[in-house]
Amino acid sequence: MRTHLDPLDPNQSSLRPAMTRISELSTSLNPVDDTHDTNDALAEQIRAALQLPEVIRRLLREGHRAQAERQVEKLRLLLANWENVQDTQELLNECKAALAFGE
């Protein structure tokens, strides 16, 4: 009878299957990606965003207005995720001004 009450017996414990299910659910919701560090990805996004006004000016000089407009729209969507970051509106305004003066 004692063997049926052993808490370490995998057939009697409900903790191990529950932990496995939680782990699987967590991994499916937020998959682990070892190919790059999230801090490096964020730093690259910030670097690209800060360079965008000059990129837009270059695209306009080369006659790629539609591509420049797409870049401004991508930035607008990206900055929506950065709502607590200072000066995001200034960056967006600078990109819009570059687009407007390129006409």
59 with 100, same domain: the answer is yes
Looking at the fold, whether 50 and 74 belong to one and the same domain comes out as yes
70, 102: one domain = yes
Based on the domain organization, do 75 and 54 belong to the same domain? yes
- The range of the structural domain enclosing residue 87 comes to 36-103
Residue 84 banded pLDDT, cuts 50, 70, 90: confident
Predicted confidence (pLDDT) at residue 83 exceeds the cutoff of 80: no
Summarize pLDDT for 17-74 with one digit per residue, the tens: 666 677 676 666 666 565 556 677 888 888 888 899 999 999 999 999 999 999 999 9
Between vectors from CA 15 to CA 9 and to CA 17, what angle results, nearest 5°? Answer: 90
Looking at the whole model, is its pTM more than 0.85? no
64 burial via Cβ count (<10 Å: 0-12, 13-18, 19+) = middle
Q: Are residues 26 and 45 in the same domain?
A: no
72 with 84, same domain?
yes
28 and 74 together in one domain: no
Torsion of CA 9, 10, 11, 14, to 10 degrees: 110
Query: Per the structure, how many domains does the chain have?
Result: 2
Q: Which of 59, 68, 63, 93 has its CA nearest to residue 79? A: 93
- The residue length of the chain stands at 103
